[in-house]
Amino acid sequence: MCHPTSCDSEGYWYTAFGSYRIDANEGCRDPPDVPSMNTICMDWGNKRGHFYFDGQAKRCIRMTSDTPFGCGPGATCAFSNWDEVSCTW
C-alpha cells in the first residue's frame, strides 16, 4: 500500500510446502517465516529482486504483472506477480 509519502509492501511466498508471509519492502532482510530462506532483497524501482536459500546460489525474480486495485482514500494498492528468472544482475 502506498500513501503520498511512503509505501508498505507485503507479500506471500509460495512453495510446494505452503505459503509464507514476507516483508516485501525495498531492500534486503532475513524473512523469518520462509523455511531455509536466509535473505530476500527487493528492488522495486527495477521491478526485480533476488533471494538466497541455505546452501544455494543467488536466485532472482522479476515482476511479471502489476494490477492496481482500490484500497482506500489517499492510498494506492496493487497486486503484483513475480517469476523466477536467470540472474543477470
pTM listed for this prediction: 0.84
State the chain's mean pLDDT as an integer.
90
- Return the bridge partners of 78, or none: 68
What is d(CA 43, CA 22) in angstroms, rounded to the nearest whole number? 15
Q: Where are the extended beta strands (E) located within the chain?
A: 2-3, 6-7, 10-15, 18-23, 27-29, 37-43, 48-53, 59-69, 77-85
Could you tell me the residue ranges of all domains in the chain? 2-85
Question: What's the pLDDT tens digit per position in 11-44?
Answer: 899 988 899 999 999 999 999 899 999 999 999 9
